[in-house]
Amino acid sequence: MGAYVELARAHAPLLMMSTAFAAAVLATLSPPRVSWVIACGGALLSAVFAFDLALRLLLGGGEFAFLVEAVALETDGVTIFGAALLSFASVAALVAAGAQLGDYEKRAAPFALALALMVQAAWIGALGARDLIGLFVAVETAWLAAVALLALSAERSAQNGAMRMLSAGGVGAALFLAGAALIYHATGALDLPRIAAAHIEMADAAALGAGLIVLSIALKAGVAPLHEWLGAGFSRANGLAAIVIGAVGVTGALAVLVRLAGYFAQAPAMGDGVSIALALLGGASVVIGSLQAVGATNLRRLAAYAGAAQAGGILLCVALGSPAGVAAALIQLTALVATALALFGGAAAGGVRTLDGLDGLGRRAPLAGAAIMTGAISLMGAPLTLGFLGRWRLVEAGVGAGWWWAAGAVIFASLAGVFYGGRLIERLYFRRAGEVYLGGAGAWRFATAPLLIAAIVVTMLGIAPGLLLQAADAAAAHLLGAAA
């Protein structure tokens, strides 16, 4: 038995992806409730592999030595950190899906669960891709699975949202392919480590290619102003689709962006250009996302725009190109996952779409209210939350690099967070209910509880973030070391 466990651990990078794929296939062949159990089991197994890797390599200081798999995988620190984060979000979303299967027609529910697993597996695959072609295939698989998941919703308007996502994804795919072609033309390589180490003669073409790829992934991460699909997609999605796209899809795209930027930053011919592009995009996303969140009247749109502002902060961190910046980005990514789970999960559990629906929710659905409040205070950047920790680490890294304006952007995001986060809290606890509670009926509604509790606990990791900081530092150091 021990030998099998060791064998599985040796192949963990492949297994954390393939178990989710296998569970997806099995789920489609089963009745709804059985498929839910299979989906949860598959996601959990994938999470076990991912967390085992993180414990061994990021916290235990083990060697990054893996067997050569049949597919082109390159496992680095950010792959492991991001995979752990994605699988955590996926487990939470799929367990909570038990309360939301009623949103689908009976025949569609197993497919929805399978697509959610596909999103997770494909983004993990993208995180571990060794070359740009593998990365493209994985990203597009994840994106199309998310589009299909959204389109499966019973509401017709969700299909319009899916069409928007499909169109945006098409643009992103074209940008990616053009960027990959330019990079291949300039470097003669598609392997990420080789690109990072290549002696580049055609620096402009390579930088342009890298910029196009960054834009393509940023579009899929919902970074403003490339987030046209975001509002329509989220506001029309049902509970499961919103949680999976918001917490798994967006996180996967951002983690891939962090990883890619780590590789591109190491190539002298591309590094500066990519850094400037990321900084500009990040700053714009912070400002635009924050302003849109202030004006939002739909809870999911608000969460999506606030996520865009947070994503901007992550891009600013990555733009620094330093281990401190990448580590700060990973902390912010963790904060984003927790916030997305709290807000989308709370909205799903409370049956809330518009801000009016939040009125008095703190009394009607205390756990959902607490989760949304926790997400809101993290968005404000309140101390002792992960939101504060992530922003503090960004400011620390930014000031260290002389980027004072980045500190200004962070403070702007926090100030905007005070307005939209404060509005959420006021509605939750200081208004009387204007709508009937639409949360699920029966015992299945409790399936959302683990997600909400997990979101609250992770957000409050800001109180004692020692292990998280250690893991992020190790992941960042390994990424930049591996890429160099």
Partner 1 sequence: MSATFALFGVLIAPVLQALFVLALQRPPGLRDVMHIGFALATAICAARLVGAAADGEMVRIALAQPLPNVALAFVVEPLGALVAATIGGLGFLHAVHSAGIVRATQEKAPARLMAFMALASGATMAVAFSANLFTFFVAYQVLTLCVFPLVAHRGDEEARRAGRTFLATLLTASMGLFLPAMIWTYAIAGALDFQPGGVLAGRVDALTANILLVLFVLGLAMAAMPPLHRWLPESSRAPDPALVTIQGVAILPAGGVGLIKVAAFVFGPALATAQFAAYGLIALAGVSMCVAALIALSRQDVRERLAYSCMAQSLAVVLGVLVALPMGLFAAALQIVALACSATTLTMAVGTTGAITTRRTVADYAGLGRVMPWTFAGFALAAASMIGMPPFSGAWAKLWLITATAGAGLVWAAALVGAAAVLTFAHLGPLAANTLAGKAPTDAFKRPDGASILLAAPVILSAAATLWLLVMADPLSSFLAPIWSDGR
Residues that bind partner 1 (CB under 8 A): 380-384, 389, 392, 395-396, 399, 407-408, 411, 414-415, 418-419, 422, 426, 429-432, 462-466, 469
Nearest CB to partner 1, comparing residues 112 and 389: 389
Query: What's the CA gap between 206 and 339, in Å, rounded?
Result: 36
Nearest CB to partner 1, comparing residues 25 and 399: 399
User: Least CB distance from residue 477 to partner 1, whole Å?
Assistant: 15
Nearest CB to partner 1, comparing residues 72 and 401: 401
Nearest CB to partner 1, comparing residues 30 and 470: 470
Nearest CB to partner 1, comparing residues 88 and 388: 388
Query: What's the CA gap between 114 and 23, in Å, rounded?
Result: 7
User: Least CB distance from residue 412 to partner 1, whole Å?
Assistant: 9
User: Least CB distance from residue 288 to partner 1, whole Å?
Assistant: 19
User: Least CB distance from residue 284 to partner 1, whole Å?
Assistant: 20
Nearest CB to partner 1, comparing residues 100 and 378: 378
Nearest CB to partner 1, comparing residues 95 and 376: 376
User: Least CB distance from residue 463 to partner 1, whole Å?
Assistant: 5
Can you give the C-alpha Rg of the chain in angstroms?
A: 21
Query: What's the CA gap between 116 and 126, in Å, rounded?
Result: 16
C-alpha dihedral over 92, 97, 99, 102, to 10 degrees?
170
Nearest CB to partner 1, comparing residues 133 and 460: 460
User: Least CB distance from residue 110 to partner 1, whole Å?
Assistant: 43
User: Least CB distance from residue 295 to partner 1, whole Å?
Assistant: 16
User: Least CB distance from residue 61 to partner 1, whole Å?
Assistant: 19
Nearest CB to partner 1, comparing residues 10 and 415: 415
353 contacts 239 by C-beta, under 8 angstroms: no
User: Least CB distance from residue 383 to partner 1, whole Å?
Assistant: 4
Neighbours of 18 (CB within 10 A): 19
3-state SS track over the chain: CHHHHHHHHHCHHHHHHHHHHHHHHHHHCCCHHHHHHHHHHHHHHHHHHHHHHHHHHHHCCCCCCCCCCCCCECCCHHHHHHHHHHHHHHHHHHHHHHHCHHHCCCCCHHHHHHHHHHHHHHHHHHHHECEHHHHHHHHHHHHHHHHHHHHCCCCHHHHHHHHHHHHHHHHHHHHHHHHHHHHHHHHCCCEHHHHHHCCCCCHHHHHHHHHHHHHHHHHHCCCCCCCHHHHHHHHHCCHHHHHHHHHHHHHHHHHHHHHHHHHHHHCHHHHHHHHHHHHHHHHHHHHHHHHHHHHCCEHHHHHHHHHHHHHHHHHHHHHCCCHHHHHHHHHHHHHHHHHHHHHHHHHHHHCCCEHHHHCCHHHHCHHHHHHHHHHHHHHHCCCCCHHHHHHHHHHHHHHHCCCHHHHHHHHHHHHHHHHHHHHHHHHHHHCCCCCCCCCCCCHHHHHHHHHHHHHHHHHHHHHCCHHHHHHHHHHHHHHHHHHC
User: Least CB distance from residue 468 to partner 1, whole Å?
Assistant: 11
Nearest CB to partner 1, comparing residues 109 and 394: 394
Query: What's the CA gap between 151 and 157, in Å, rounded?
Result: 9
Nearest CB to partner 1, comparing residues 197 and 469: 469
Nearest CB to partner 1, comparing residues 146 and 472: 472
User: Least CB distance from residue 482 to partner 1, whole Å?
Assistant: 24
Give residue 284's identity as a one-letter amino acid code: A
For residue 97, give both structure tokens.
């899906």
User: Least CB distance from residue 397 to partner 1, whole Å?
Assistant: 11
Which residues on adjacent β-strands are paired with residue 428?
Answer: none
